[in-house]
Amino acid sequence: MSGQKSTSERIVISFSQRRPWRAARFAIGPFRSGTLLRMPNLGRLMYGVMYRVGFTPWDGHVLPSRLQPLAAELGKGKALDIGCGTGDTSILLAKLGWEVLAIDFVERALESAGKKAAAAGVTVRFLRADATKLRSYGVSGGFTLLCDNGCMHGPSDEQRDAYVREVSAVAASGARLLLVAFLPGKRRGPRGISRNEVERCFSSSWELFDSGPDFTSRAGETLQFYELRRR
């Protein structure tokens, strides 16, 4: 599934194998300003390098406190984990009886996620896909629960609009989306997303009906949850 690597990916990968810490610094620098995450393809390259050098500060964070109550409230059905990383949300949902499709655009994250799901004894379908082009990967509708822990808060406005278009197209009527994200204004890392920006992005086909602080990252920054319902 990994496909052909571009020249720049091959250079970074070979560099990371010889001098992992220098490669990590190389990877972290642009991420701290969040700039690369906002550029199409470079966001994917950036995350790819971060997984490759093992700089994944989000990995293994506590899961959003809203997740389990929401999954229980909705019962069982089809769930989509958007930007699943190494799969903790997907695995929890599969344990609760959901049929889960987990997508991420980094192969290495999906490999770890697949191993974790196998060790947990649950079935999750993992797919390498870009959330801004979901339908072009054959993802079709019917999801009643959609989760995004830390995916949408990075990219540019244009990519966010593409993300919303695609996610809206595969969500069932009445579906719920639990979006967990940093607020804007952090000195480093993803640019974050405010309640107003969530409303701007989703207003045409979703109702934002709850939001507030959820869990705190290892760096001590609180992430917000946004709960939306598909019209």
Residue 15 near ligand SAM by CB under 6 A: no
Stretch that binds ligand SAM, among 26-34, 54-62, 70-78, 196-204 (CB under 6 A): 54-62
- CB–CB of 87/117 below 8 Å? yes
Options 15-23, 24-32, 81-89, 215-223: segment touching ligand SAM (CB under 6 A): 81-89
In angstroms, the CA 39 to CA 34 distance is: 10
Rounded-to-integer distance, Cα 176 and Cα 194, Å: 19
Choose the stretch contacting ligand SAM; rule: CB under 6 A; options: 10-18, 70-78, 92-100, 127-135: 127-135
- Which of 36, 100, 108, 149 touches ligand SAM by CB under 6 A? 149
Site membership for ligand SAM, residue 9 (CB under 6 A): no
- Between the alpha carbon of residue 157 and those of residues 8, 112, 114, 162, 198, the distances in Å are 25, 30, 31, 9, 11
Q: According to CB under 6 A, which one of 109, 164, 170, 223 is a site residue for ligand SAM?
A: 109
* Residue 150 C-beta: closest distance to ligand SAM, Å: 3
Q: In whole angstroms, what is the distance from residue 38 CA to residue 146 CA?
A: 22
Residue 197 engages ligand SAM in binding (rule: CB under 6 A): no
Task: Give the gyration radius of the chain's Cα atoms.
Answer: 17
Q: Is 150 in the site for ligand SAM (CB under 6 A)?
A: yes
| Residue 34 in the binding site for ligand SAM (CB under 6 A) | no
The answer to whether residue 90 forms part of the interface with ligand SAM (CB under 6 A) is no
Tell me which residue of 177, 169, 162, 186 sits closest to 228, measured CA to CA: 177
| 106 contacts ligand SAM (rule: CB under 6 A) | yes
Distance between CA atoms of 198 and 74, rounded to whole angstroms? Answer: 22
Phi-psi region of 60 (alpha: psi -120 to 50; beta: other; left: phi over 0): left
Q: Which residues bind ligand SAM (CB under 6 A)?
A: 43, 47, 58-59, 61, 83-85, 88, 103-106, 109, 130-132, 149-151
